[in-house]
Amino acid sequence: MQLILIVPFRMQLWNLNTYLYGPKDDLKHRLLWREVYSAEEEAQLKALVCEAESRGLAFVYALSPGQDIVFSSSCDLTLLKRKLRQVSDLGCQAFALLFDDIDHSMCQSDTEAFSSFAHAQVTVANEIFHFLGEPPVFLFCPTEYCSSFCTPSVSKSPYLLTIGEDLLPGISVIWTGNKVISRELSPESLAEVQSVLRRPPLIWDNLHANDYDSRRVFLGPFKGRPPRLRAHLRGLLLNPNCEFEANFIPLHTLGSWYKEGKEEGKGESDEEAYSVDRVLSAALQDWMKELSLPLQPDNQHGAQPKCPMTSSQSTGALASDEIPADPVMSQDLKDGENQVSRIFSHEKTPRRGLCSGSIPLSEAQVRLLVGLYYLPHEHGPPAQNLLQDLTWLKANCHCVSVNGNGKKVEEWRDRAGRFLAACDDVALLHSAVVNSINRALLYDLYPYIWDLRNTLLVAKAFICWLGESDSMDDLSSSSGAELHVVEAEPWVFKGGLSGEVQMLLPVGTSSELFSHPPPLFPTSRLYNIRPFQQKDKRGKGSQDAAISHPDFIGDRCLGASLALCPEYSLVLEDELGVCGCAVGILDVCSFAKRCQATWLPAMRDKYPSRPHGASGHTATKALLYFHEEQDYPNSLLYNFPSQLKLEALPELVDCSVSRSLLTALLMALKANGSQGVFCEVQPTDGLRIEFLTKLGFLEILCGEARPREGVVLGRLL
């Protein structure tokens, strides 16, 4: 937790919003709770208390001693009092003792001293409450803090019954609802809790908390809590997103919920008193004003950003030649022109696309952003449509086979077009966030929108590939998370929208292909992955090439794959043209036979081993490529029947798209039954080996077993 706001109801003294301090990165909050703060730490904490007071906020200091406290130990009790006295001397007048997420077991001395675990906690809490002078705000978080944790139930829980009976009435008890993260809070369930605790509970609302999933953030409105809850609550605490800029709409709509719910006597229903659509629209309009401001991560208007997520144009800190090259470049390409630029058409231009920070987001883009990152139990309409279309397209991909029904094919292609357009909208949103004038927004939300952009880049490539494939294995039952009748906590299925899209893809269970940290330097360049087309092949010679024939580089590197199995050839392109390619072979054994029968004879005629006019060892060695047998051992092909090659231009700024390109190819191979894939890498190409290793590839052939000089890396699918 970092920031918690309290909306007061029944406690007259809670007439201010409240900041509760209980950060997990403060080791002396939980792990080292016995230790007092150093002079430097004390000064920082005092400054925080004073800052809260100057802004009209009540400051609540929370401590979590439950992991290892010995309740019967007078020494531990003395240390606990010493710690809280130190904080009290800094001006803090409100406190919280948290016993959440700990083991129910007690040590031998505690078992002898107390009748139950609840009795031990209550005894310590009551004594601390007296020690601090019975402050007007003193919170207690029980170990059973939601209905799903209560044994056997809320009304029959011995633990809660003891808390309600023995805890002093001046102490408020924290409650999260039916779950740790509750979709809804009902007056009926809270009335039951109030009866057991003998006081209205104080809701600790985790609706927008996102510290349990690094791929999720919640920008949606405060909802699922009817205004009539007030009759059963002592107050409400909102545990927000870890990212400050992500909390504008949650806090704005919470304020609307509180303000509108205060008005009584109008005879309105909960839905009329608090319309989610109405308050969300109002919050969006106000957020648009905030997003149009040139805020930096330190919230200073127009100040130079201090974070690394800035462009070279705005800071001058990073020249274009300092940008790390893409690791997919093979080692031999660093000594000459890149193979991709020789095989495909791509103009040589300076690297561009780094974030510039000059354009505000449009209202449509902000609405899309909120819809993609809505709430933990609920997607917004844009996310729902994406998932529905992808699920349908995958289940009905057989319709676009050679024997597909014409009407069904038309429906499939219409929905595919809608899905691809939605993916493009997210890519444009990613670029807009990178170029946003509000750099604070970029700093906080970039990792999330970047992750979704990459996941949808792969999903889009998959749908494009399905649309051009003649046949494939049945995909209707592959991947996808299992459905559970009982609603689970949001952290059971990680990743939010990105995770759900991922699980719908053939390689969705391979998290190493999707979960990676974002690049240090964001780029707004738009990328696309699509199947190879014959128009892409525009070979061109090079004055430095050992063989002057314009087709030689293309024929040697990718020619056989493009000629014999183009359906497993994918192209990565940006606004400037092709900037990468990935080619695969589904069955190397059968491919080798076809290659020997048709491709190699044609190449040997095209490139004789000793052509007229060619001289030198380099030229002879290059031409021998088409005149030598290239066999792989059966031990390799048994588990890894497929092969791939991956190339990218050195100008590629965001190397994550190379990972997306490789993932898209792996999906195509797995969708048609491959169980494993391998590739060859030069031993000196450390960057590429590291790149592939992070994606689950391991060295599978070494020593004499290797077919040639290269290192053979493979991974199962």
Residues serving a catalytic function are: 101
Residue 644 contacts residue 583 (beta carbons within 8 Å): yes
* CB count in 10 Å sphere of residue 698: 11
Amino acid occupying residue 500: E
Cα torsion 605, 607, 612, 615: sign: negative
d(CA 17, CA 56): 8
Planar angle of CA 456, 461, 467, nearest 5 degrees: 125
- Write the burial class of residue 186 (CB in 10 Å: 0-12 exposed, 13-18 middle, 19+ buried): middle
d(CA 411, CA 419): 12
d(CA 195, CA 161): 10
* CB count in 10 Å sphere of residue 501: 24
Q: Omega into 152 within 30° of 0, i.e. cis?
A: yes
Give the 3-state DSSP-derived string for 523-563, with helices as H, strands as E and coil as C.
ECCCCEEEECCHHHECCCCCCCCCCCCCCHHHHHHHHHHHH
Residue at token pair 């994550």: 656
d(CA 6, CA 525): 42
- DSSP category for residue 10: S
d(CA 461, CA 448): 20
d(CA 195, CA 232): 10
Q: What is the CA radius of gyration of the chain?
A: 31
Lookup: tokens for 202: 């104080």
Lookup: tokens for 452: 């979704």
Q: How large is the greatest C-alpha to C-alpha distance in the chain, in angstroms?
A: 101
